[in-house]
Structure formats: C-alpha cells, structure tokens
Amino acid sequence: MSWLNTNRRTDCERQGNEPVNSLVNLRSGAVRTVKELVVISGKGGTGKTSLVASFAALAKDSVLADCDVDAANLHLLTAPRVVHREPFTGGKRAVIDAHLCAACGQCEELCRFDAIQSDDSGNMVYTATYRVDPMACEGCGVCAWFCPEHAIALEPTVNGEWFISETRFGPLVHARLGAAEENSGKLVSLVRTTAKKIAEERQIGLVLIDGSPGIGCPVIASITGADLAVVVTEPTPSGLHDMERVAELTRHFGIPAAVCINKWDLNAEMCGRMEAKARDLGMRWAGKVRYEKAVTEAQVEGKAIVEQGRSGSAKDIEQVWKGLRELLEGAGGQDRASAMRIIA
C-alpha cells in the first residue's frame, strides 16, 4: 500500500530517518484542499480526546492525528490496526570512544549536566577514562567541541516511535515518545505532516488533530498553520485561566479559535462568565457539553459517546460539531483575517 511522497524533508528525515518518502506516491492531478481542525486545552483531562473521537465519528471521512505524543490516548477510543511503524530520531547524545580518550577530564569539567563520569575500564594507555550517562546527557555538544583528542561524537538517538493505523473512522497517525525523552515538538510536526499528506493522497478534506495540552512547544507545533483551534475547558476558575492562556497563544499565531465548555452544568454561573469572556477575547463560541456518566461508560467500551445512542451529551456534541463545520467552511478567510486584526 502506498501512503505518500513529497520533496519536502521533515526535521526527522534531516536527522537520519526517512519515514515520509518511504511511504507513498501522491496521485497526479488536483489535490483537494485539506482543512485542519485542532482540539486543544489549557491542561489535561478536560475531555479533549473524547470530543475528537466523537467528531471523527460524526465527520465519517477524516484523517486523525494524535499530537499529544507525551501521553497519546486517542487509540483507546479508535481501536487502531497498525499498518506502518517507524522509530523517531529527534536528538543526539554524546558517546566517548574509550580507545581515544586521554583521560584529561576536560569533558567532565565542562559538562553542566553532570552527565560525564570516570570509568574504571580504561584503555591500553590509561587505567581510567570517561563515559557518558545517556540519561543525563542533553546532547548540547560542548564536550565534543572541546575534546582535544576528538574522542567524543554526537550520535543520533531513538526518542520514540510513530505509527500509521487504520480505524473505523479512517486513518490515524499517532506516536509514542519515550520516557523522559525530549523533542516532542518535532514528533508532533512529523505526525501532523504525515496525516495531512495521507489526506491529500486519499482526497480527504479534513484532518482532526488531538493536540497537546498546555501552551508549550508541542502545543505550538499542534496549532501552527491550522485552520481552526477548538479550546476545550471546564467551568472552574482554573478553567477560565487556562482558556485565557490558550486564547493568547492562538492570537499570537493568528489561529482562529472557538471555545467549548465541557461539563458546563457543574457550574452554570461560571459557564456564563466564561462564554462572555471568550467573546471578549475575540474567540468564537463552539458550544457546551453537559456532564453525563454515559461518557465514561462509552470510554470503558472503547467508543465515542455519539456511537452509544442519543444521550444528552451526544446531542450536545452533535450541535458543537455542526457549528464547527460551519466555522471551518469560513476558516482561512474572514476568520483568519479577524484573528490577525485582533493581534494588531
């Protein structure tokens, strides 16, 4: 099965991986315009992934991208069948060649991360040399730069793994970052790029992105260039604060944003305040979803709530999705221009 082909090279490819070019050839002819809808939140646990799974069930024809690579869980609701997998190389670590090491100790003195330690194994000249603790090394390269014997090299490291899968909703691109590994932003970019190219290959007009929580590097990689960002929050003081932080982020990057308040009926008064605040911040109102145990019951069964019948929360999500589709039809035009005016 072919997946994609492109002349552009990802960060991952430039560092030694060749994941994308090895997968598919784009069909010749016109490529359908692909819209990217990314669902984000100021923190984890707001219901972001549950909404994405429901949106996928309602869209019926989309490509899914789980960009929450630090704690990916969209696969729990989509039952993916992995058809392609590759290691992700996103960084480098120092390695000392004990045969070349002169045991001068300069690398140990210069390392600010205490990643270099004396090694009693030695070599044919010195009884003790040095070694690098791979868990502590940040790959900064200072030791390699100053080593007088050129005994230190920076070697690519495998930071995680990424996958292309088939689900009942359509293709899913997802990943798993290793424990304590970095470069999650690069992995997010790889997931998004691959998902969009699959959409182009299959002539699918929508990519649904389960973004990372917070406002850091993986979130920026999740939203940059997207047509619409949906901010999922909860009716609490911390939820209001998180919404304001994410609103500032989307404004900075000129991404049209809409707000959806999950479990709104737990605090109707706060929900009203947050809706008013969202409009003051220039964000669109996507809607609200009531709290219901049926959502958890659906999760236990590995399904989206909209697949479980006509519950109240399912109806709410259907209304949210209807509004988002209308916003997407205008995304990239008037909405994006409005977002840029808000920045100015």
Measure the CA angle with vertex 110, ends 108 and 115; round to 5°.
Answer: 50
| Per-residue model confidence (pLDDT) at position 331 | 58
- Provide the 3-class DSSP secondary structure of residue 237: helix
CATH number at residue 72: 3.40.50.300
Range of the domain at 102: 90-158
Sign (positive or negative) of CA dihedral 3, 188, 337, 55: positive
Tokens of 196: 């969009």
Last residue of a domain, one of 158, 190, 205: 158
Are the C-beta atoms of 339 and 257 separated by less than 8 Å? yes
Residues 225 and 98 placed together within one structural domain of the fold: no
In the chain, what is the straight-line distance between the N-terminal and C-terminal CA atoms, in Å? 47
| Per-residue model confidence (pLDDT) at position 15 | 35
Closest CA to 55 of 247, 261, 302, 230: 230
| Residue 2, domain member (yes or no) | no
Tokens of 23: 């997968």
Residues 69 and 204 placed together within one structural domain of the fold: yes
| Per-residue model confidence (pLDDT) at position 174 | 96
Averaged pLDDT score across all residues of the chain: 85
Residue segments in the chain with a per-residue pLDDT below the cut of 50: 1-31, 333-344
pLDDT digits (tens, 9 = 90+) for 153-192: 999 988 899 999 999 999 999 999 887 777 788 999 999 9
Only one residue has tokens 């670590």, namely 93
| Per-residue model confidence (pLDDT) at position 135 | 86
Residues 181 and 248 placed together within one structural domain of the fold: yes
DSSP 289-341: E---HHHHHHHHTT--GGGG-S-HHHHHHHHHHHHHHHHHHHTTTHHHHHHHH
pLDDT digits (tens, 9 = 90+) for 221-263: 999 999 999 999 999 999 999 999 999 999 999 999 999 999 9
Residues 104 and 221 placed together within one structural domain of the fold: no
| Residue 301, domain member (yes or no) | yes
Residues 207 and 72 placed together within one structural domain of the fold: yes
pLDDT digits (tens, 9 = 90+) for 90-104: 889 999 998 899 889
Only one residue has tokens 């308040």, namely 261
